[in-house]
Amino acid sequence: MRAMDALKSTNRGAMALLAVFLCMAAFPSLIAPYGPSERSMPYQAPGPEHILGTTNMGNDILSELIYGARISLLVGFASALLATGIGLAVGLTAGYFRGALDEVLMAFTDVVLIIPKIPLIIILAAFLRPGVGILILVLGALSWESIARVVRSKTLQVRETGFVMSARCMGFPPLRIMASDIVPNIIHVVLPKFMLATAAAMISEASLSFLGLGDPSMESWGAMVSSAFTKGGFIREMWWWYLPPGICITLCVLSVAAIGFAFEEGEGTTVRVE
């Protein structure tokens, strides 16, 4: 019982943290003390005017931090959504129809599983020229395979149940059965995977923008760490420059992943109770 309480409290903490980041992403102009293009003296230490100092371009670091939440969360959730969509489609098709189609799809999934993601993303991003849309597409198109596997194995179970059998006897088309009978029964395994995919995508986004492959028009957290690293903030020990964005990445990913894990563990207990 104590373990359950602890789980709930960490879950609540993660939710609260995520809510803060969502607010930052939704209304940056209300929270941030300066606009994204306002400039002042560069390389300032933290002070009353600039709580976290300024960058080499004279931008206020706190404001940049708040505006950076948007791109991180957008890339994370959008690409996870795409990945979940592809994963659901592939997993459902393979699990429901079985046979040769299943074999082909799963072989393809294994290939995607084995391809090293980050190097491929680096190449693709380098070739395709950075941009938020491209980033979301690439990250989404490369991270669906674990979702597809889970969905398939769950679909294999659900398709043998009575209500799916009777729906098939009544002559409903496969698409209809998948949408109204199977998906509602597997959504609880997809949800934690969705959160974990979001967390992974946010880390990938941060890594890519650290390499300078993010969207050049938007200053994300990874890009902030990168510019602190390449433009002298790190060597001069200007911790107020590189520490906050890095901590923000970690906390944001952690909150999303913690919610995902909590879903997963909650799922585990209900199954055992049944």
Partner 1 sequence: MCAIIAINFALPRLMPGDPVMNLIGEDAMVTPAQLAEIRAKIGLDRPVTVQFVSCLGDLLCGDLGYSFHLHGPVAGILWSRMSWTLLFAGTAIVLGALIGIIAGALSGWKPETRRSRAVTCAAMAVSCTPPYFLAMLFLAFFAFRLGLFPAKGYYDVLTAGSVVHHLLLPVAVLTLFAASRNLLVMRGSVVQEKNSHYALYARAKGLFGRQILFRHLLRNASLPVITLVALDFGFIFSGALFIEIVFSLNGMGTLIYDAILARDYPLLQGAFLVIALLVVTANIIADLLYGALDPRVREGGV
**What residue ranges bind partner 1 (CB under 8 A)?**
2-3, 6, 111, 113-120, 122-124, 126-127, 199, 203, 206-207, 210-213, 222, 225, 229, 234, 237, 239, 242, 246, 249-250, 253-254, 257-258, 261
- The residue (of 96 and 210) whose beta carbon lies closer to partner 1 is 210
Comparing CB distances to partner 1, the nearer of 72 and 164 is 72
Residue number with CB closer to partner 1 (139 or 206): 206
> Residue 211: which region, alpha, beta or left (left: phi > 0; alpha: psi -120 to 50)?
alpha
Q: How far is the CB of 125 from partner 1 (least distance, A)?
A: 9
As measured in angstroms, the least distance from the Cβ of 250 to partner 1 is 5
- DSSP characters over 87-143: HHHHHHHHHHH-HHHHHHHHHHHHHHHHS-HHHHHHHHHHHH---HHHHHHHHHHHS
Contacts of 11 (CB under 8 A, 6+ apart): 258, 259, 262
Q: How far is the CB of 24 from partner 1 (least distance, A)?
A: 18
- Within 13 A of 56's CA, how many CA atoms are on the CB side? 13
User: Is there a contact between 79 and 135 (Cβ–Cβ < 8 Å)?
Assistant: yes
DSSP element (H, E) containing 184: helix 183-210
At its nearest, how many Å lie between partner 1 and the CB of residue 208?
10
Report the residue number, 2 or 169, with the smaller CB distance to partner 1: 2
State in angstroms the smallest separation of the CB of 237 from partner 1.
6
Closest distance to partner 1 from the beta carbon of 37 (Å):
26
Q: What do you get for the CA distance between the two ends of the chain, in Å?
A: 17
Enter the DSSP assignment of 52: T
Would you say the C-alpha torsion 19, 22, 28, 30 has a positive or negative sign? negative
85's enclosing H/E stretch is helix 61-97
Nearer to partner 1 by Cβ, of 178 and 206: the residue is 206
Q: Which is nearer to partner 1, 120 or 179 (CB)?
A: 120
| Entry field: residues in the chain | 274
**Least Cβ distance, residue 247 to partner 1 (angstroms):** 8
Q: Is 98 left (phi over 0), alpha (psi -120 to 50) or beta?
A: left
Q: Please, which residue, 89 or 251, has the CB nearer to partner 1?
A: 251
